[in-house]
Structure 1
Amino acid sequence: MTNAALTQERLRGLPPQERAEALEDLALTAFRRVLLMDEDEELPVDVSFFDLGLTSLRLMDVKQGLERELGLDIDATALFNQPTIEQLVAYLDNALEVSA
């Protein structure tokens, strides 16, 4: 079983609130990595990706990292239609349920 499959299995086994928190942690880690932030630096989840300083290219880096981590295909337009970490987490949570 791949790491992504194990991650999906673990996430699906969590209660909804805990799953959302775990997905948010994964997303925050991915964004901090691309933004060259320390893991303890505050990163608002309700601010637009572009207001955080991301470019389209860096956003694709986040997308690819989350796809590897979660084993999900993330539609690139989702990142523009759900332009905050908070909205992206809701999208990922739904995508995880649909792929079950």
Structure 2
Amino acid sequence: MRKLRTVGPLATVAATVLLSFGFGSPAQAARGWTAEVQCYKKRISDGSTHAPIIGHGTGKTEDLAIAAAKKHANDQMPPGYRGVHCDTKKTKRG
């Protein structure tokens, strides 16, 4: 009887974990969002703004895809710069 009580919660946890990693139906797993943002390089030392950098990102939601694209743009910045004035240029579902 004791094993039956632990199998229920374990099965529920396993199913939740699998679904959270995208092991749902194939249609759900294939869907997602992609985003493209354009951020300008800002020199930290003097605050001057320079050429834009394009960042791309994907995510389960539109907001997550935009956040990933902004992170990608900032990761491309050379030392001493950061991204500012990030504009979302494109978002696409699927």
TM-score (norm. length: structure 1)? 0.24
Structure ranking higher in strand proportion: 2
Structure ranking higher in helix proportion: 1
Q: Which has the higher contact order (CA 8 A, sep 6+)?
A: 1
Greater Cα radius of gyration, structure 1 or 2: 2
